[in-house]
Structure 1
Amino acid sequence: MDYQEKLKVLDEELMSFYQYCQQVGFSEAEMDVICAPLVSSLRKSFFKKVIKYIIIVLTFVAFAYGLCQVDSVSLHFSAVGRLLMIKLLPFWDWTAMFYESCLVSNPFYGEYQLTEEDCVSCEALEQVDRLGSVAYEHLLDSYLNRDAPLIVMDAMESWPVMNTDNFWFDNITQLYLQDEKLVDTVPCILTTNLRPGSSDLHAFLKRINSPKIDKWFVHW
């Protein structure tokens, strides 16, 4: 007897039992008492199945999370995920969410738009303070909290690379233009007063070598 036949026989027996209870004249409350052991057993069986499925899902999630901690596997998962998202584009355009800075609407937040006057405060600077052995409290109160620029002359003295001959501006520029690992570097956000129009670091490095440009700043 296969599984379906067993279910059919069980269903017939339950229907026969139900009809017998009706013929005898049992009330709904009495039938609830009579069927309580069966209902309890069915509930326990259902909860066991639910717990079993939950354990299986949690085990799978934990296994997948462990795999994602391996760099090579994480890289492949990321690549596959991106390909799947690209395949979804014809059915669901998620690009608006991708470029959205905040997915939760905040009625108290108003997006600030930069104006030309905002740039004047930096571009019109004729002199930047140069300090050494400056206390953090003074740096915070007099410059950082006021968004005032300064140069800390001895900030990098503790860097090990500063004790070598391999760290100066021209050398860094050549590294980014010629080194095999750095030549393909694309900054996520490149900010400069030269307005290159993109995050092309190579174009910026070549541009600042021009003698016509004597004032510039950049960070990425």
Structure 2
Amino acid sequence: MRANLITINDEFISFQQFCQKSKLSQREIALIMEPLATALYQNKLKQRVVYLLVFVFLATLIYYISTTEVVSWHLSAIGRVALIKLLPIWNWQHLKYERCFVRDKVDFQIFLDCELCEINNYIDTEYDIKPTELDDHYIKLHKAVIVKNAITNWKIPDDFDTEWIPCKLSSNFLTGPADMGRILEKLSQFKNSYFVHFQNCDRQSVKFFRMFAPKPPVLPTRLSPNQYSWLLLSLDYNVSNYKKIELIEPIALIGQLAGYNYFQLKPRSNCEDYCQIIEVVLEEGEMLIVSDLYDLSYRPFPEGENVAIILEMHN
């Protein structure tokens, strides 16, 4: 191939020398060479089109392969491991609570109808309520409510996949990112007093939690399956300050599976001057429904073991 290119180049040089000896002008030479130049340009254009089509095909193929459950799970696992390895070089942990890398001056938590919560200073308790009534009287009005006998089929999760890496992990016995194996190992060592809570953002862990905390039948069908879930664990942890839960979706279900937890609902953004902070104790077997009108915080009951699961979902 290289020999053919050298031969073609020598012939072009010889032709150019012939044209110069024949005293042809540059315009005349350009007219003679025009058919060849046009053919070369068209051939180069065809090559670029072929390269573009091949690139689009490969990009589409890679995209569809990456969206398959098995591949996407492995890619996310590799990404999490890479981020952990990157910590000694760049401490990115402060970004894990941000919804985007670029900050905007716009407040995304502005509520125009603060009247919805200005007279709410307590939380109703419902024992037997229909999904339509729950939707119309509470969820659509951003009013928190406790529902009894709604999570009778929920149970405490067990047999965790030790390779899962939860999001938004907070505890008194761990620092930095950790997988479930390290969390369970450390948890077994703190038998006197501890707390830990984390969000399940991995697709597999979310599916796993759906087996232990399925969507309650009392909810309206328009609500999606849970997109994220949380586990709150504590034992004899006596503190006075509340721990904030960084929710993402607009609807949150808190189910108390064992013991008690104190929950605090603080009106968000511009409604905090109109509406009151609400505090409530959630007992075993109760479910609390909260909208994104409120920031959610909790404080463990200071005695015994306390277990709660939070499901996040959207309309």
Q: Given the two structures, how large is their TM-score scaled by the length of structure 2?
A: 0.43
Q: Which amino acid aligns with 2:159?
A: E
Larger Rg: 1
Name 2:281's counterpart in structure 1.
Answer: 215
Is 1:108 aligned with 2:106?
Answer: yes
Distance 1:10 1:60, change over 3 A: same
Give the C-alpha shift of residue 69 in structure 1: 4.3
Is 1:36 aligned with 2:18?
Answer: no
Distance 1:184 1:74, change over 3 A: closer
Name 2:216's counterpart in structure 1.
Answer: none
Identity of aligned residues (%): 24
Q: How far does the alpha carbon of each residue in 1:140-170 deviate from its partner, in whole angstroms, 9 at most, with x for none? A: 4x5445432235679x6xxxxxxxxxx62xx
Query: CA RMSD for the aligned pairs?
Result: 4.6
How many residues align? The count is: 185
Give the C-alpha shift of residue 14 in structure 1: 0.9
Give the C-alpha shift of residue 10 in structure 1: 1.2
Name 1:76's counterpart in structure 2.
Answer: 74
Q: How does 1:1-220 map to 2 (within 5 A)?
A: 3-83=1-81, 100-109=98-107, 125=122, 127-130=123-126, 132-133=129-130, 135=132, 139-140=135-136, 143-144=138-139, 146-151=141-146, 168=152, 172-173=154-155, 175-176=156-157, 179-180=158-159, 198-199=197-198, 201=231, 203-204=233-234, 209-210=258-259, 215-216=281-282, 219-220=310-311
Give the C-alpha shift of residue 128 in structure 1: 0.8
- Mapped to 1, the partners of 2:146 and 2:259 lie a distance apart of 23
Q: Which amino acid aligns with 1:198?
A: H
Structure with the larger strand share:
2
Give the C-alpha shift of residue 11 in structure 1: 1.1
CA contact (8 A) 1:186 1:201 kept: no
Q: How far does the alpha carbon of each residue in 1:100-140 deviate from its partner, in whole angstroms, 9 at most, with x for none? A: 3223443334889xxxxxxxx98x62x5153734756x954
Q: Given the two structures, how large is their TM-score scaled by the length of structure 1?
A: 0.57
Structure with more contact order per residue of length (Cα contacts < 8 Å, sep ≥ 6): 2
Segments of 5+ residues of structure 2 without an aligned counterpart are 111-118, 170-194, 199-229, 238-255, 263-279, 283-287, 289-307
SS in structure 1 of the partner of residue 24 of structure 2:
coil
